[in-house]
Amino acid sequence: MKKHATAALIVTAMVLLVGATSGCSTAAKEGLALVRGGTGSVVAIQPLAADPNARPLGEYRNVELGEITDDTGGLVPVAFWTELKRSVPEDLASRRIPLESGGKTLVIRGRILHYETHGLTAIALGDVEEVVARLEMVDKQTGNVLATANCIGRTKGRTNMGMATKVDGLAEAIAVWVDKHYPKEGRAEQE
């Protein structure tokens, strides 16, 4: 009888230890998500070049955010647009993409297809919100569409849900998309 009690105590202690460790791990991940903000990803629909390693955007000396419409039925908050116009140039500049006024300009335009918001139920059941935009790279001078992609901005955890985090993620996705096709030479000088 004493052996069974000891075994039960050991099993209980192990379960508590695993539970405590998992909780700490989750807390650590949530804390890291709060610090890091949103994350962005890109899915090419119409690739810019047949060669995925090609970097044909070197002739562009400026990138502008053009018109992006809301195809979600009004789910996108008004403040989203202001924040996106602020965040995209910051993310491009952090990657040393030139933003010179008057130079050959690449315009990013498109539409928001999906904007997810969560209430308390969703916070309990899931920890990711996202915004999905179908965007085009357009040569400003000619109006030619060079490429099309879905750019996705996501929150990373329950602690960083909200509009600002989704804006950060979408801005990152746009910058990653441009950066992937911009040559290493010819980038803006770092200050």
Higher pLDDT, 186 or 133: 133
Tokens 């040559």 label which residue?
Answer: 183
Classify residue 71 by burial, with Cβ atoms within 10 Å: 0-12, 13-18, 19+: middle
154-183 pLDDT, tens per residue?
Answer: 987 655 678 999 999 999 999 999 999 999
pLDDT digits (tens, 9 = 90+) for 103-160: 899 999 999 999 987 654 445 546 678 999 999 999 999 999 999 999 999 987 655 6
- Residue spans of the domains in the chain: they are 1-36, 38-180
pLDDT of residue 119: 53
What is the per-residue pLDDT for 1?
44
Least confident range of 10-14, 56-60, 116-120, 147-151: 10-14
Domain 38-180 indexed as CATH 3.30.160: yes
pLDDT value of position 124: 52
Say what the pTM is: 0.76
In this predicted structure, what is the pLDDT of residue 87?
A: 97
The mean per-residue pLDDT over the stretch 41-54 comes to 88
